[in-house]
Amino acid sequence: MGITIKTQQEIEKMRIAGKLAADVLEMITPYVKAGVTTNELNTLCAEYTDKVQSAISAPLNYHGFPKSICTSVNHVVCHGIPDDVLLKDGDIVNLDITVIKDGYHGDTSKMFLIGDVSLEDNRLCRITREALYVGLKKVKPGNTFGEIGTAIQKFLKKSGRYSIVKEYCGHGIGNVFHEEPQIVHYKNNDKEKMVEGMCFTIEPMVNLGRANTLLDKEDNWTVYTLDGKKSAQWEHTIVVTRTGCEILTLHSDDTLSRHLQN
């Protein structure tokens, strides 16, 4: 199936779903601290989505995923399954939230720093968010999808010895969780041009060490860095506008405006 162009009615539904996903991250923020388990965070998010937002947690039972959110701690790159391990001082954790409202998806994630985090890990998280912003600033009609990943890789190369995960990428989104196009976060020659009304995610995964990853053979979901070094990720859902893009999942601590004139 090709890339879908969303109607104004569909975009409005995407705005609502995107805001709900961002609101889940706002709600959960004070609970993400040492001594809490990711299972507890999962329960809080699931109940909030269901009972307060009257929405659906998209990950639950998606291709068999067993929980309502993804929680990726330290050297987990993505798709971490909430469990009963206590978060501890110095951990970094990504919470990935996807909400369905009226049939449309909002997908976003951010990093949380637990207690006293090392300068190296703190910088990893900051640089990864900046990499997302670099990608967002390449979104406008007429630009190619290849420009997004190429700009991200160029930025990271200047920023230090970081690596970009290549096996997992951003994606089109709408009334389907994952649809065309695929948005890779490294230098590439994708010549497909962006068009007003396209909706997709940008979600760079950046490692302190090498880019190589390892899929957990037991749960078939959890992705680790092969060398055991830490990884960070930030994600937004956007819609291409006439002059740039609109961030549908804007967080209160984002330093970009909702509407980017690129």
Task: Considering only the C-alpha atoms of the chain, give the largest distance between any 2 of them, rounded to a whole number of Å.
Answer: 48
The confidence score (pLDDT) of residue 161 equals 86
Nearest alpha-carbon partner for 166 in 182, 145, 181, 142: 182
pTM of the model: 0.96
Q: Would you mind telling me the total number of residues written for the chain in this entry?
A: 262
Q: Which residues pair with 245 in a beta bridge?
A: 240, 260
What DSSP designation does 29 have?
G
Q: Which residues pair with 16 in a beta bridge?
A: none
Place of tokens 């893009």: 245
Question: What's the rounded Cα separation, in Å, for the pair 59 and 51?
Answer: 17
All residues at 6 or more sequence positions from 22 whose CB lies less than 8 Å from its CB, including other chains? 106, 108, 249, 250, 251
Backbone dihedral angles phi then psi of residue 147, each to the nearest 5 degrees: -65, -30
Domain ranges of the chain: 8-261
Q: Give me the tens of pLDDT residue by residue for the chain, a chain 262 residues long.
A: 689 999 999 999 999 999 999 999 999 999 999 999 999 999 999 999 999 999 999 999 999 999 999 999 999 999 999 999 999 999 999 999 999 999 999 999 999 999 999 999 999 999 999 999 999 999 999 999 999 999 999 999 999 889 999 999 999 999 999 999 999 999 999 999 999 999 999 999 999 999 999 999 999 999 999 999 999 999 999 999 999 999 999 999 999 999 999 8
Helix 38-47 and helix 8-28: axis angle, to 10°? 140
CATH 3.40.50.720 is the classification of domain 8-261 = no
| Res 227: pLDDT | 97
DSSP states along 40-82: HHHHHHHHIIIIIS--EETTTTGGG--SSSEEEETTEEE-PPP
At 1 the pLDDT is: 61
